[in-house]
Amino acid sequence: MKLLTFVIITLAIYMPFHLFKEALGNFPKWMYEHKWLPYHMTNGHWMSNNIFIYYPMLLLATFIFVIGEENCTCFGK
C-alpha cells in the first residue's frame, strides 16, 4: 500500500470513527475532570471543534504532503 493511500484511508475512515468513539465515551467530560480543559464542553461543541478546526488542518497537511514533494520535508516527505 502506498503511503498516500494509507493517509487518505486514515482521514476518510479512521478519523470519523475515532471522533464518534470519543463522543460516545464522553471524552470532553473526562478531559475536564482531569484538568485538561478549562471548562466542560458538550459533545456537540467537542465534535464541531474537531470537525471544523482540527480536521481541516489534517486535510491541509495532507494536501501539502501530496503537492510538496521535496520542498516540504517538514510535512512528511
pLDDT tens string 8-65: 888 888 888 888 888 888 888 888 888 877 777 887 888 888 888 888 888 887 787 7
The three-class DSSP label of residue 67 is helix
Which phi-psi region, left, alpha or beta, contains residue 26 (left: φ > 0; alpha: ψ -120 to 50)? left
- Residues 65 and 72 sit within 8 Å (Cβ to Cβ): yes
Local confidence band at 71 (pLDDT 50, 70, 90 cut-offs):
low
> Per-domain residue ranges for the chain?
14-75
- Residues 38 and 26 sit within 8 Å (Cβ to Cβ): no
The whole-model pTM stands at: 0.59
pLDDT at res. 74: 63
**Torsion of the alpha carbons at 8, 53, 23 and 9, rounded to the nearest 10:** 0
